[in-house]
Amino acid sequence: MITLHHCVSARSFRPLWLMEEIGLPYTLRLLPFPPRVHARPFLADNPLGTVPLFVDGATRMTESAAICQYLAARHSPGQLDVPADDAAFGPYLNWLHMSDATLTFPQTLVLRYTHMEPAERRQPQVVTDYARWFLARLRAVEAALQHEHWLCAGRFTAADVAVGYALMLADYLDLAPQFPPAVAGLWARLQERPAYMRARAAEHQAALDQGIDPTPAPLLRF
């Protein structure tokens, strides 16, 4: 069975949500955030000390968007996946990778230099600049949704889950009020999906069961 090492509402939420969309059985192992500081024995499993750590038999993966691509290709071909011979394959891959490299990375700097660094190391200018940087990159999402409900292939895919996490993080960082209209509509639709709601409930219950603070990682204050 698949095992996912996860922190509440961290990037590992992407594969958790996608597994709920597919209906896969899995084991969820919760860790305190950040695990490299608060769960040092986890470094033996993942020297990076980050989540996700995804284990499927001999397969071990640590990049959330790549795990989404793996899950969709192996367990939901032609549904949440987009096959290589489909005209939408290129855009699908682009959205998967943009979700983290372009849409999540700048927000990690906002989070770090607002809440995670000691007071003397906080950088208000970094926070302002990278919040603007993220919001500017949403232009691509807004453009893709002008005549579509979903990002590619004319249907809901793993790319929507991957980008959806970036929107979820932005909501935690109080950036959602600045979403352009189509992006706001996408985020509203995603939150209504039963699998999204199941994933939120699953991580909350697992945290309680495993003695982990259920506060979403982006809302923790250091």
**28 three-class SS:** strand
- Euclidean distance between CA atoms 186 and 141, whole angstroms: 9
Residue boundaries of the structural domains of the chain: 2-79+195-219, 89-193
pLDDT digits over 138-185, tens only? Answer: 999 999 999 999 999 999 999 999 999 999 999 999 999 999 999 999
pTM: 0.97
**CATH domain 2-79+195-219 topology:** Glutaredoxin (3.40.30)
Residue 112's nearest CA partner among 55, 52, 173 is 173
CATH architecture for the domain at 89-193: Up-down Bundle (1.20)
128 — pLDDT class (breaks 50, 70, 90):
very high
Residue 118: what pLDDT?
A: 87
Domains 2-79+195-219 and 89-193 share a fold: no
Mean pLDDT of the chain: 97
